[in-house]
Each structure stands twice: as C-alpha cells, then as structure tokens.
Amino acid sequence: MKKLIECVPNFSEGNNMDIIKQITNEIESVEGVRLIDVDPGKATNRTVVTMVGTPDEVCEAAFRAVKKAAELIDMSKHSGAHPRFGATDVCPLVPVANITMEETVDYAHKLAKRIGEEAGVPVYCYESAARTPERKNLAVCRAGEYEAVKDRIGTEQWKPDFGPSAFTPAVAKSGVTAVGARNFLIAYNFNLNTTSTRRANAIAFDVRERGRTLREGNAATGKIVTDEKGNPVMTPGTLKATKAIGWFIEEFGVAQISMNMTDLTVTSIHKAFDEVCAKAQARGIRVTGSELVGVVPLQAMLDAGKHYLRMQERSTGIADREIIKIAVKSLGLDELYPFDADKKIIEYILEDKNQKKLVDLNLTQFVEETASESMAPGGGSISAYMGAMGAALGSMVANLSAHKPGWDERWEEFSDWAEKGKSYHSKLVHLVDEDTNAFNKIMDAIRLPKGTDAEKTARAEAMEEATKFATMVPFQTMELCLGCMDVCKAMAEIGNPNSITDAGVGALAARSGVLGAFMNVKINAADLQDKAWAAGIIAKGQAIVDKAVALENEIVAMVNAKI
C-alpha cells in the first residue's frame, strides 16, 4: 500500500502561461508524481497547482517548482487581488493515503529546509507544520503581504524558520514561501429542489461549524446579540470542520449549498450528506443530489459506501468498485453529470494505465499467457491466484449468508467474515504480479557488471537482496492462504448450507496456494548465501504447510459430512 500525499502550491503568476508551463514542467519531470490540476486566475494573478504522488517524489517535484518560480517571478513587480508574499506563496502538503499527519509534517519540514538552504528562499512553516503556535495561522505569517517582508524578516519575532533572514536582492525578487501540512480539503456541493438562495443559506448556517449570528426575537431581523467585547455571539452549526454557504447555480437552475470540508476524520462525506438532508427536510426542502468538486481520496468513498450498505443491513465485504457505486447512488453524485471514479478518485488517477499487469488479463488471457513460452506467470503467481480464488469463494459464501432470507439478524456477523476474505484476496491478487516483479529483480541483479572486485561485491549483494525478496513474496502468499482457510472453515461451519461445497473448494484452493508457494520459498532460499536465514524461513514455511494440511482435512471432512 503506497503512501500518498497531495501538494497544492500557489504561484504568484496567473497571466503569463509560458511561466506557468515552465513551472509545471518541473513537476511533470519527476516520476511518481501526477499533475492533477492547474488553475490560473487572471484577477488574482495566481495559479493553484495540484499534484499527488509518493512523499519523496512529491517533495522533489515541489522543490523543483519552487526553485523555478523563484527564478522566473519577480515579486517586486507583482500585483494581484489575492494576498501573497512570495513567488511560491504557499506550499501545503496533505496526507492522502497510508500516511499520518505526523509523517506529513516531517516531510514538510524537510522540504522547507531544502527550499531555504538550496533555493535560498526564506520559509515560514504553518498549519500543522508550524514550529511555534503563532505561526500556525497562515494569515498571521503573511500579515502585511509582500510589502511587509522587508521590515519583518530581520526581526527576532519573524525570522524565517528556514533560509535567509535578510531582505537581500534575491529575497526581494523571490519573496518568501509558507510551507505547511494540513488535512485534505473537500469541496462538496448539495443540490436542492429549490431556487431560493435564502433557503439554501439557512440550511448552510444550520450545519456549518461557525453557525449563524444569534439575534434577539426574530432569527432573521432581530437585534444581534454581542459579548462583553462587542463581538457578535454565534450559534454553532452541527458539523465540525465545515464551512458552508448557499448560492444559485444558473447553469442547472437550482440552489446549492457549497461546503468546504477541512477534516474528513471529524466530518465525513456521508455524515455531511445525511445531516444536510435532515436539516433540509426540516425546512420542507429535499436534497436531490450532490457534487464533489475536484478529487477525493478512495477511503472517503469506501467509508461512504459502507455506511449506506450498513444502513441497508448489507455486507460490506464486496469489491471496492461495487462499494463506490453504492456511495455514488446514495449521495446522488451522478445527478448533474456522470461520476467517473477513474477521474475523481486520487488512487485511481495515479494508477499507471500503461503498465501491463497479469491481474488485468481476463481468465482466458491469463491461462493462455501461463501456457506460453514466457516465464511469467509462473508457479508463484499461480499459487497466489489460487489463494485469491479460495479467499473469494469464502467471501462469496459469507455474502450469500448475510443476504439469506431469515438470517437478517446475522448480516453483520457474515459481513465481518466477508471483509476478512476480501482483505485476503485483495492482498493475494497484488502478489500475483509481485511474484513476477521479484523474479525480475533477480534478473536485474544478474545483469549487473562484474568486471572489478567492487562490481562483483555489489552484484553479489544485489543478488542476495533480490533473492531474499523473491523468497519472502511466496512466504507472504503462504501466510495469506492459511488465513483464507480460516474464513472457509467458518463458512463451512456456520455459512449458508446451500453453499457449503463452495467453502470446501475455497479451502482446497487456498491449501494448494500454500503448498505451491512453499515450493517457491524452498527453491529461492536454496540460492541464498545466508544459510541461517534460509533455514529459518523454510522451517516457518513447513509449519504453515503442516497447519494448512491439517486444516484442509478438517474442512473437507466437515463438508463431506454435511453433503
């Protein structure tokens, strides 16, 4: 599971497309990073760029872009409607998948340090990356904008976190940059069956975190209530980490509530949708659908789909694409235009569509490729595929059991088993291609030069490392296949009796995956120089084989007794 982060740098140029293209070319020059969006604004004289990828690669792309912007943009001549204080005004990093905010902050600090030291651009760290509490707020860091940098940068209070602390000619040209770490921001709109902006605003005020101004008497026209400092007293809305307002969309002829969601861990997409629906209904209005602006993390869509499946008392142990369909239909994301998951979900956008993968072949193609003269797929890939099919059969029985008439009160029990089975077969499907990749690593090591003693040593070390990797891949297959058998056993014991043979076949397939993968463990381990490590992994593998064979006998006996 790759770690993914988003980076949304804002560059102080929105009119000269040649400059913008030179900057984005730097981003596109880094492998492992996908340029998602480039949004120039003429009035603001500012371009917002969105890129996504693995953390090290995103930071490299961000550094190159910041450095190029400092070379091309002269802040002493810049003007625009948006607050700004640098050629790269802000450069936030956002955790997307399989990475914590703490890790993202570490990357932000490393990026900020590099920008300061190598590009010579002063950097303030803000939001979650702030090194002092007062710098958490971007507006405080940027107070007075570019015009105030000259006087602020040399003070003890506003000395940059990284980079120069003097207003040199180079700094006068580049300005300063704010590097931060923040949560993923979702722009989410709700479509209403009304044309009234006022009614849409009322619902927005009901739900947004800030809420509405408290008034005496009439909620719309009464006197505003103030605190002891003379500030208006606010009645908070029901959804934390949200901002919202109502507006009318001329194109579609309906009013919408436009919401920014700043922390999905606090308020999820489905929680926001359900709450807006409830508040709208209380005012005699219906939410007819919704619209996600920009991109969204996969997990947010899966969480939404599973939420609505649970409301229907349906199993959540189904394919991700099917869960996403449930989310789209439940949230009405296809009301205004089709929702294309491959263009809206970050992880799907990042998939390399040109990469040839075995698991993308249909069954006939896979069999024919196996039978061909090519060495892939080989026994390791087939073992993983058998295990995946075994796990899929276990999930199938669990899903059928969850939906069996008369067993409604047990849907959650079987849903949990289906989820376990899905987890196993998803990981095993990945190992189908990973086994081939492991073989390729060995071949790459074999091709390394061996003309000098140093080259021979490096080649031998690469061979050993690649062989250990090629041994661990089938060992992982063994472990996962054994786990599959637990799902199949449970389904043979408590699952839908009409599908008991499916559970039995699943167990047979998973056991075959264990035994087949063990052959690959042994043959690869035999080439290792580290004999102690090789002996240890083979001993562990044999223990897994013994458990799998015993479990197979138990499951087969159980199935035969019930047929």
CATH number of the domain to which 202 belongs: 3.30.70.670
Residue 436: per-residue pLDDT: 85
Instruction: Single out the residue of 473, 558, 435, 471 nearest to residue 508, CA to CA.
Output: 558
The secondary structure of the chain in percent helix, strand, coil, rounded to multiples of 5, reads 55, 15, 30
Would you state the pLDDT for residue 293?
81
State how far the alpha carbon of 403 is from the alpha carbons of 92, 397, 407, 414, 416, in Å: 45, 10, 7, 9, 13
Please identify which of the residues 433, 435, 486, 502 carries the catalytic annotation. 435
Domain boundary (165, 181, 197) is at 181
> 274 pLDDT exceeds 80?
yes
- The radius of gyration computed from the CA coordinates of the chain, to the nearest angstrom, equals 29
pLDDT of residue 294: 79
Catalytic residue from among 82, 334, 403, 527:
82
**What's the rounded Cα separation, in Å, for the pair 110 and 179?**
10
Angstrom distance (rounded) from CA 264 to CA 272: 10
Write down the pLDDT at residue 126.
96
Q: Which pLDDT score is estimated for 150?
A: 96
pLDDT at 87: 97
Residue 281 is encoded by which pair of tokens? 């209904």
When pLDDT is cut at 50, 70 and 90, the band that residue 452 belongs to is very high
pTM over 0.85: no
Same domain, 397 and 341: no
Residue 493 has pLDDT above 80, yes or no: yes
| DSSP states of 236-273 | --S-TTEEEEEEEETTTTEEEEEEEES-TTTS-HHHHH
The per-residue pLDDT for range 54-104, each reduced to its tens digit, is 999 999 999 999 999 999 999 999 998 888 999 999 999 999 989 999 999
Q: Which of 310, 374, 379 is nearest to 519 (CA)?
A: 379
SS3 at position 49: strand
The residue count for the chain: 563
Assign 219 a pLDDT band (cuts: 50, 70, 90).
confident
Read off the pLDDT band of 36 (50, 70, 90): confident
Percent with pLDDT over 70 in the chain: 100
* Same domain flag for 307 and 392: no
Residues 219, 209: Cα–Cα separation, whole Å: 18
pLDDT band of 351, cuts 50, 70, 90: confident
Mean pLDDT to the nearest integer, 32-45: 88
| Residue 535 confidence (pLDDT) above 90 | yes
CA–CA dist 127, 101 (Å, integer): 11
- Among 344-358, 364-378, 495-509, which is the least confidently predicted range? 344-358
Residues 300 and 440 in one domain: no
pLDDT reported for residue 420:
97
What is the band of 127 on the pLDDT scale with cuts at 50, 70, 90?
very high
Give the model's pLDDT for residue 339: 94
Are 172 and 310 part of one and the same domain? no
Query: Does one domain contain both 266 and 386?
Result: no
- Range(s) of the domain holding residue 26: 4-181
Note whether 324 and 374 are same-domain residues: no
| Residue range 42-53: mean pLDDT, rounded | 91
Please state the φ and ψ torsions of residue 491, each to the nearest 5 degrees.
-70, -30
Looking at the chain, the whole-number percentage of residues with pLDDT higher than 90 is 82
pLDDT given at position 229: 86
Identify the CATH number of the domain in which residue 75 sits. 3.30.990.10
148 in the same domain as 227: no
Mean per-residue pLDDT, 199-216:
93
- Domain total of the chain: 3
Same domain, 332 and 446: no
**pLDDT, tens digit (0-9, with 9 covering 90-100), for 403-449:** 999 999 999 999 999 999 999 999 999 999 998 888 889 889 999 99
pLDDT at 226 over 90: no
Per-residue pLDDT, 394: 97
Has residue 509 got a pLDDT over 80?
yes
Q: Give the domain-ending residue among 350, 384, 412.
A: 350
Verify whether residue 430 is a known catalytic residue.
no
- What's the rounded mean pLDDT across residues 304-331? 97
286 shares its domain with 432 = no
Averaged pLDDT for residues 516-536:
96
Residue 375 has pLDDT above 90, yes or no: no
Whether the per-residue pLDDT at 1 is higher than 80: the answer is: no
* 82 noted as active-site residue: yes
Tell me the residue type at 311.
M
Q: Among 166, 181, 196, where does a domain finish?
A: 181
Task: Give the C-alpha separation, 110 to 122, whole Å.
Answer: 14
Q: What is the pLDDT of residue 233?
A: 87
Of the pLDDT bands very low, low, confident and very high (cuts 50, 70, 90), residue 42 is confident
My answer on whether 324 and 379 are in the same domain is no
Beta strands (DSSP E) in 295-346 are none
Average pLDDT, the chain: 94
pLDDT of residue 356: 83
pLDDT surpasses 90 at 105: yes
Lowest mean pLDDT among 115-129, 321-335, 369-383, 526-540: 369-383
Q: Residue 540: pLDDT above 90?
A: yes
164 near 116, Cβ under 8 Å?
Answer: yes
**SS3 (DSSP) at 124:** strand
- Claim to verify: residue 15 and residue 44 sit in the same structural domain: yes
Residues 148 and 205 in one domain: no
Task: Calculate mean pLDDT across residues 537-545.
Answer: 98
Q: What is the structure's pLDDT at 501? A: 97
What's the CATH code of the domain at 479?
Answer: 1.20.120.680
pLDDT top residue among 220 and 558: 558
DSSP letters spanning 221-233: TSPBPB-TTSPBP
Task: Provide the pLDDT confidence category of residue 152 given band limits of 50, 70 and 90.
Answer: very high
Contact 327, 333 (CB under 8 A): yes
Place 343 in a pLDDT band, splitting at 50, 70 and 90: confident
Q: pLDDT class for 544, splitting at 50, 70, 90? A: very high
